[in-house]
């Protein structure tokens, strides 16, 4: 069975997701103890899709999040680099005319500049070998005034909750993964990637470095997950020097 490691080689990550594609949504519901649907609702509200808008859902997997976005009347491009995930998604969403599946590398998106009203990614940014490059691509393909929304596992600020959460990742998640997944070894990588991922403020600065302004975040489920949002400047896209943020420190907000 395939599993990736923290080098996050694209071929390894894609192969791992190919293997878990059929049972992926069910396993997520089990491992998140039912919270996955709540995180999806919060993400959709932060994206705030409108009828007729074009939304890019990166690392869309089987299209569960894309379907939620499309219910608003927006058209959704569901992009993923796992052909197995896309195949499952195309079968499940075959009757939805507002969703189009595209196999794509998040660090080299096959779309023109200023193509989308919004770009969103849920639980996928930490799996990308170069997340900064992906964020720059999100900025490139988003229209002036448009927004990016990132939903990702994060670091609970309260030490008691953080310790309990890390204990669950180490002991509880492997047990549930053996019961619910066809490839439980893949979820060892999940634990490692969560522990290795930057905290809320660090991710907010990464989004700012990509060029987005008014970057804010809020914690979900006591900070186990964090929801970040930023906007492309409405008056045009400034060139941001490498390593700098155009907007100063990011703030905790009410997304």
- 142 token code pair: 């988003």
- Rounded mean pLDDT, 174-181: 62
CB–CB of 229/216 below 8 Å? yes
Q: What is the pLDDT of residue 153?
A: 93
pTM (two decimals)? 0.86
List the Cα angle 175/61/130 in 5-degree steps.
Answer: 90
**Structure confidence at residue 248 (pLDDT):** 44
Q: In terms of Cα–Cα distance, which of 208, 191, 69, 67 is closest to 135?
A: 208
Instruction: Determine contact, residues 216/255, Cβ cutoff 8 Å.
Output: yes
pLDDT exceeds cutoff 50 at 135:
yes
Output the six-digit token pair for 187: 């979820």
Residue 88, SS3? helix
Q: How far apart are CA 81 and CA 37, in angstroms?
A: 23
> Which has the higher per-residue pLDDT, 51 or 242?
51
**Strand runs labelled E in the chain:** 54-58, 75-80, 99-103, 116-122, 142-153, 213-220, 225-231, 251-252
First to last CA, the chain: 39
Joined together, the tokens standing for residue 67 give 């379907």
More confident residue, 233 or 185: 233
Residue 146 has pLDDT above 50, yes or no: yes
Between CA 65 and CA 120 the distance in angstroms is 10
pLDDT of residue 85: 86
């Amino acid at each position: 069975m395939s599993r990736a490691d923290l080098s996050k080689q694209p071929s390894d990550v894609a192969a791992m997701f190919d293997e878990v594609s059929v049972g992926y949504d069910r396993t997520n519901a089990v491992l998140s103890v039912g919270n996955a649907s709540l995180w999806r609702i919060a993400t959709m509200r932060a994206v705030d899709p409108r009828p007729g808008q074009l939304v890019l859902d990166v690392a869309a997997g089987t299209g569960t999040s894309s379907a939620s976005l499309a219910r608003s009347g927006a058209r959704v491009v569901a992009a993923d680099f796992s052909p197995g995930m896309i195949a499952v998604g195309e079968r499940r969403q075959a009757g939805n005319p507002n969703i189009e599946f595209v196999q794509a590398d998040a660090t080299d998106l096959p779309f023109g500049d200023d193509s989308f009203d919004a770009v969103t990614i849920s639980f996928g940014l930490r799996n990308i070998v170069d997340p900064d490059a992906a964020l720059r691509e999100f900025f490139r393909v988003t229209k002036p005034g448009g927004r990016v929304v990132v939903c990702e596992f994060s670091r609970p600020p309260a030490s008691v909750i953080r310790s309990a959460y890390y204990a669950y990742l180490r002991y509880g998640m492997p047990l549930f993964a053996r019961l619910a997944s066809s490839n439980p070894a893949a979820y060892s990588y999940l634990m490692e990637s969560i522990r290795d991922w930057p905290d809320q403020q660090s991710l907010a600065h990464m989004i700012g470095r990509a060029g987005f302004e008014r970057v804010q975040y809020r914690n979900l489920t006591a900070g186990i997950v964090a929801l970040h949002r930023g906007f492309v400047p409405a008056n045009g896209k400034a060139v941001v020097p490498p390593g700098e943020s155009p907007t100063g420190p990011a703030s905790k907000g009410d997304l």
